[in-house]
Amino acid sequence: MSAGSGGLQLASERYGSGGFWNYRLEGTEIRRQREGPGGHTGTGLRNLFKSVFLPQGFPESVSTDYLQYQLWDTAQAFCSSLSGTLATQASLRGVGVGNQEATVAAATATWILRDGTGMLGRILFAWRKGTKLDSEAKKWRLFADVLNDIAMFMEILAQFFPTFFLLIICTAGVFKSIVGVAGGATRAALTVHQARRDNMADISAKDGSQETLVNLAGLLVSLLLIPLITDNAPLTLLLFTLFTVLHLVSNFKAVRAVIMETFNEARLEVVWQNFVQNQEILTPREANEMEPVFSWFSGTAPIRLGVSLQQLIHSPEEFERMTKLGQERRYLIGVRNGSVCVCLLLGASVRDEFKAMCHALSLRRLLSERHKDNIQGHWNLVDESQKLVEKYFDPFMKSLAETQWETNRNLLDWDEWRIQIKCKSN
């Protein structure tokens, strides 16, 4: 204990980074006093807002990019809410709202068909692309928002094509169902990144509160817009274009604000190639800024990880050549049908996964530079890339361990096939 100008100090406490208080004995009473600059953090509208809409322990309980991402995400959600109002009004007009000749049964049937096709689209998309959403969350987040804008644009235009109205509205329903899967799944992946205290549920709940608040604001603005856009197609299209541009810009800024410390294919390629060329490790911020988020048509050979053995080997000679070093490096690698294919051996570690991916990235780069089309050329490039990996991989992993990069897990898109070599062919 210490005695100061306010009496004998008994204890002190702090609430995160929000404030610091001292407890002092003054006569027969214990008094609590705020120390340092600033007002009380436990009262006031500002603190009520923080407790309602931000995770407990903010900012220490979340990633450093949380606030910037949420600000841009809020902006895009507001624009999307306004665009959705325009699309909804157009859809209602298309199914006959306000038209005395339209029947309730026809409108109901249209809505049921739209919802039914959307449900099928949701199932099919989750089946085909579900495993990609974790490893490429940024790219699929942008994809979802672009597709959502396309779907709303189709809903606005559908009323002008009554003959094809049902087809257009059902297609838009499929697109929106895909948006629901991709948007929800990638948001969950980003929540995993943002959570720093195993507080995913809290972050997700507060994100829902933020989105609800934004939608309420959007509804209020929409009430002002509806009288202006009713029976005014040019103004509807103009406002929709404006909101869409702002929506897409905000989404791009939001995903660019995310700084993930876990490797996916794109981030690992950026960091690995820079290390091979300069023997320097890029920081997570530098790599995330260089990560492509529109790499849909890169023109390079795709990399397929964790494939079945039959997808890679078609002859005893190929098996003998691939397994020559396979036991030591815990994976097999080759080129098949224009793709770099990797088979992972049973018992391979996360480090083996990193090494296999670095090998595949080096092989793809050599393929792109040499433009080899014959199988013999491919084997030479496999050997050349192997030497490159053996030279740089150990220093690369040692350097990563000294940075903020996470190396005990990864977001590489591995399939589930694992092989066990019994013996080598003769």
Beta bridge partners of 332: 343
Residue 104 has pLDDT above 80, yes or no: no
The answer to whether the Cα torsion of 410, 178, 415, 364 is positive or negative is negative
Give the per-residue pLDDT at 38. Answer: 47
Lowest-confidence region among 97-101, 157-161, 198-202, 310-314 = 97-101
Residue holding tokens 């098996």? 319
Length in residues, the chain: 426
Output the CA angle 267-130-294, nearest 5 degrees: 40
The answer to whether the Cα torsion of 63, 136, 68, 57 is positive or negative is negative
> In the structure encoding, which two tokens stand for residue 296, read together?
């849909």
**Structure confidence by residue, pLDDT tens digits, 308-335:** 999 888 888 878 777 766 556 889 999 9
Residue 297 has pLDDT above 70, yes or no: no
Which CATH number is correct for 66-257, 1.20.1250, 1.10.1790, 1.10.10, 1.10.1740?
1.20.1250
CA–CA dist 179, 352 (Å, integer): 35
Contact of 92 with 239, CB cutoff 8 Å: no
**Structure confidence by residue, pLDDT tens digits, 190-224:** 999 999 998 999 999 999 999 999 999 999 999 88
Lowest-confidence region among 1-5, 23-27, 155-159, 228-232 = 1-5
For range 252-267, the mean pLDDT: 95
Domain residue ranges in the chain: 2-43, 66-257, 265-419
CA–CA dist 390, 355 (Å, integer): 9
> In the structure encoding, which two tokens stand for residue 357, read together?
């991916």
Average pLDDT, the chain: 86
Residue holding tokens 């660019």? 256
Query: Closest Cα to residue 167, out of 177, 154, 179, 176?
Result: 154
Give the per-residue pLDDT at 106. Answer: 65
